[in-house]
Chain A
Amino acid sequence: MEQIELKNLTKTYVSKELRSFKDYFLALLGRIPERRLDAVSDVSFSIAKGEFVGLIGRNGAGKSTLIKLLTGILTPTSGEISVLGRVPHRSRRQNNYKISAVFGQRTQLKWDISAYESFRLIRYMYDVPEARWRSNLERFVRMLDLSRLMYKPVRTLSLGQRMRMELCAAFLYDPELVFLDEPTIGLDIFAKEVIGDFLLEIKRSKETTVLLTTHDVSDIERLCERTMILDGGKVVFDGETNGIAEILEMGIFLEFKCEKRETVLPPGLAGGQAETLPHCIKINGVDKRDVPRLTQSVMGLNNVLEIKVEPPDFEKVLKNFYASKIPFGT
């Protein structure tokens, strides 16, 4: 059985704008118009044990709503949902023993005291046997380089240090399913790398299922073999991470710097695929197999000084996708 299974899941928000006392009164009389918004609309997918899935979407696409539905914090309006074999909002507390969540902006650690105290509290909250708790703690402290920081008050830590603590806390009780909501937001490259290494190691040694929400595509490319794109409450893409670019047929990008101001294009290029600028030729959407032939053609017709070859850029892919809004099937 899959870790997560969703069938036609929908969550509708009904909102009324209530600001002053008069509005409350009018609402009682039913005179304030309701606005219905499908934050999550007819979503179906399943995630197997041990998968690392990336979840991308614009702000307001429904990502956090989806996560809240999966953790049982919200009840769905319609559809079926099963997490760890149970319905999350009905078996919330049982599932919570095996679930963990890290929210990039907020911390679960107590602010004024050391992280160690919070770790201890977690042990009691989740009923973790002392031996396992201790061995996990030692291991994570080593992996995340926390030994010097563990006994300092949390409020004295930098953002990167705090996030490492969060991750340690999140995995401390060996959860089966982990939700990471923008864990690397605002972090520098080194912190991201340490965290990335940590997650890869976890992936290798335990069979934890991870759902990673992020705006940072390098995280996804590094960690998640599967990616889902959420837009307007619907899943518009669900497949291999490196398959996205191929589906969008973005292809490889070539740029040639030429000696002469006037450049000559090779024949056989589609209209609009190439761009000529003073001393420069840019060619988009080149199939992998065509690169050598095309390069030779250009070099044959021009005196080329520099060549730039860029693989499809994930961010460009996304931008393109949002701009085109082509609906994808799963």
Chain B
Amino acid sequence: MAILSRYLKLYIVAGANNLKSLVVYKVDFIIGLVSMFLNNAMRFLILLFIFRLVDQIKGWSFDQMLFLYGFSTMVTGLWHCFFINVISLPYYVRTGGFDRFLLRPVNLLFQLTIDSLDEDGWGELLLGMILVLTAYFRLELPAAKLILLIPAVLSGTAVLIAVSLMLSSLSFVSVGGVPIMGLLVKMFEFTKYPVDIFGNTLKIVLSTVIPLGFATFYPGMMFLTENVALYLPLVLLFSAGYFMFSYFIWNYSLKFYVSSGS
């Protein structure tokens, strides 16, 4: 486990550096903190406003939607905290900055993720936790089940990581890099709502081809239904497998990059 502790140490040092990079600009940092809070609070408020207009959406009550919204915010928030730099890969490839990673004795994906940490993610994660806990108790779900949140969120995040990783790997293969950032963020909108409001075809797509359903909805179902025995193993197996698949794609694309130059 010496490797693990080394990476952990690296992570902390790099994270500290990133934080220092922000704090150095005091005015901006304060503006950023305030805005971060505003941003996240407002996203929640909008949801609230929507639900002032209506009692339920396709059979889902406000509290259930709130739970799912909060859960998905936690998952995207967690992804945001640790993995968001992956979508900047086209930039690194274009400027030759990625070669710098190749020169270091550290795992490439790891280097990519720590090179720049986005502090917005923490606010998102926190907001998600608040929403989830609020909805959880309003729905009067058993407290014992709370422990399941950990595997649920982790596997959901794994799926998001996998999707973003595969899209990102395109940068290794295509000529100028592919601007996936906007696309990815907009795709994540899908994750905030129950998959079955999207009509049948889209529902199938979201469960298989681009399995964003497995990022939030299906893990969330562990809590919204009694059927834990079904959803828990399903979600865990899928996310583990999918993540490994995406890592394989990443390595494969990397080989292509390394043999074709920039």
Contacts and interface: CB of A to CB of B under 8 A. Distances in A.
Question: Do chains A and B make direct contact within the complex (CB under 8 angstroms)?
Answer: yes
Nearest to A179: B103
Nearest to B21: A112
A75 B100 CA distance: 16
Contacts of A18: 175
A7 B258 CA distance: 20
B41 interface: no
Interface string B74-109: 000000000000000000000111011011111000
Given A74-B259, A112-B24, A106 B96 contact: yes
B26 interface: no
A147 to B, nearest CB: 21
A294 to B, nearest CB: 52
Interface in A238-259: none
B261 interface: yes
A125 B105 contact: yes
Interface string A89-132: 10011101101110000101011110001101100111100000
B24 A124 contact: no
Interface string A208-247: 0000000000000000000000000000000000000000
Interface in B92-143: 95-97, 99-100, 102-106
Contacts of A75: 255, 258-259
A153 interface: yes
Contacts of B6: 124, 127
B100 A117 contact: no
B205 to A, nearest CB: 23
Contacts of B99: 68, 73
A71 B103 contact: yes
B14 interface: yes
B132 to A, nearest CB: 35
A111 B25 CA distance: 13
A68 B21 CA distance: 30
Interface in B248-262: 255, 258-261
Interface in B52-91: none
Contacts of A94: 105
Given A71-B102, A126-B105, A112 B25 contact: yes
Given A18-B175, A121-B17, A65 B261 contact: yes
Main secondary structure, interface of B, reads helix
Interface residues of B, number: 26
Main secondary structure, interface of A, reads mixed
B258 A117 contact: no
B43 interface: no
A120 B10 CA distance: 10
A110 B103 contact: no
Contacts of B96: 106
A113 B258 contact: no
A72 interface: yes
Contacts of A25: none
A93 B17 CA distance: 23
A322 interface: no
A120 B16 CA distance: 11
Nearest to A73: B102
Interface in A280-301: none
A165 to B, nearest CB: 15
A248 B10 CA distance: 53
Given A13-B261, A127-B6, A113 B104 contact: no
Nearest to A122: B104
A113 B21 contact: yes
Interface string A62-90: 00010010011111000000000000010
Interface string B1-30: 000001001100110010011001100000
B20 A68 contact: no
A104 to B, nearest CB: 12
Given A68-B99, A96-B104, A106-B96, A73 B24 contact: no
A101 B103 contact: yes
A206 B229 CA distance: 64
B100 A92 contact: no
Contacts of B24: 112-113, 153
Nearest to B17: A117
A113 B105 contact: no
Interface string A1-24: 000000000010110001000000
B13 A121 contact: yes
Contacts of A108: 100
B10 A73 contact: no
A13 B262 CA distance: 10
Nearest to B11: A124
A112 B20 CA distance: 8
Contact of B14 (A73, A93, A121): A121
B13 to A, nearest CB: 5
A13 B259 CA distance: 9
B184 to A, nearest CB: 20
23 contacts: A13-B261, A68-B99, A73-B102, A73-B258, A74-B258, A75-B255, A75-B258, A75-B259, A96-B104, A106-B95, A106-B100, A111-B21, A112-B21, A112-B25, A113-B24, A117-B17, A120-B13, A121-B10, A121-B13, A121-B14, A124-B13, A125-B105, A125-B106
